Structure 1
Amino acid sequence: MSTKPQTSSKETESIPEGWRDDPFHVQGAEYQEFAYAYGLTNVSVLLTQGLDIGEHGFICSSNGRYYLGDEMAYCMLEITKPTTYSGILHVLNTKGQNGLRMKSLQMVPYAEQPESGPGGIWPGTGCYKTCAKLRAANS
C-alpha cells in the first residue's frame, strides 16, 4: 500500500466535516480495488466519507494526481482543480464538494486493469447521474 503524499509544513487546512483521514478507515482495500478498476495505480486513499451518514465517497492520490470516487454511483473523477491536497481541503472546507473541478474516468475492462491491483470486482460501467451533474457544472 502506498503512503500519503508529503504535505507542506504550511498546510493547515483541517479535515472537512463529513470526511475522515483516520488510518482505520483509509486503509480499506475496497477503495483501492475500486480505483484499480478505473486504471489507477499506486493508489493511496487520503480521505473517506462517513458510512454512518450514508456516504460512500473517498479521495485518493495516484501518480501525483487526485481523484474522488463514489462507490454507490460507480463513479471515479479526476480532480483537475485545485491540484494540491491542501487546495482540495481548502475547497472542501469553504465550498464543499461542488467547488472542485473534476472530469469523469471510464472503467477499464477487466483484462486491461493494472496488474498492481486486485480490480475486476466492480460490475458498474462508469458514472451515472452524479458524474453527469458534475460534468454539466464544470462545463
Structure 2
Amino acid sequence: MFFLKELPTRETLERYHKRFPGMRPEVIEEALHLMKKGSLLIRRLDEYFTGQGLSQLRYLILVVIDRQPDRDEMTVTELAANLDVSKPVMTRTLKGLIEDGYIDIAVHDKDRRVKLVRLTDKARAKLAAILPGYYETIQAAMEQLEADRA
C-alpha cells in the first residue's frame, strides 16, 4: 500500500534533485503517480472482494488454480510458488476456503505427502460471478489513468 495522500510537487522534486543530482525528477514523479494509482486500485479491489465475501488472497488462490489450462488442481507447493505469502498464511487461508466449500484437498496418488488443491463447483460458480466485476474495476482504473494523462 502507498499511504502518501499528497504527492510532492515538481518544485519539491527539483529541490531534491539539487541535493541528489543522480535523481531524475520526472522519473520519480511518474513513479509516485503510478504507485498512488496502483494503491488506489488495490483498495478498490479489496472493497470489491469484501463485497463478494472474499479477500484478495482468497480470490487469488481460486483464480490461480482456475487459470491452469490443462488441469484442475495444484499442489500447495505450487500455489505457494505463485503467491507471495508465508506458509502459515497460506495454510490458514486454505483452511478457510475448505470450510467455506470453495476447495477440496486430496492426497496425491503416488506421494501421500503431496496435497492437491481442487476447486469445487461452488468456487467455479463464484469465479464466474465475480470475474466480470473484477475486470470492470481494473478497466475503469486504467481508463481513469489514461484520462488523467490526456
TM range (shorter): under 0.3
Q: Higher strand proportion, which one?
A: 1
TM-score (norm 2): 0.22
Structure possessing the higher radius of gyration over alpha carbons = 2
Return the structure number with greater relative CO, CA threshold 8 A, min gap 6.
Answer: 1
The answer to which structure has the higher helix fraction is: 2
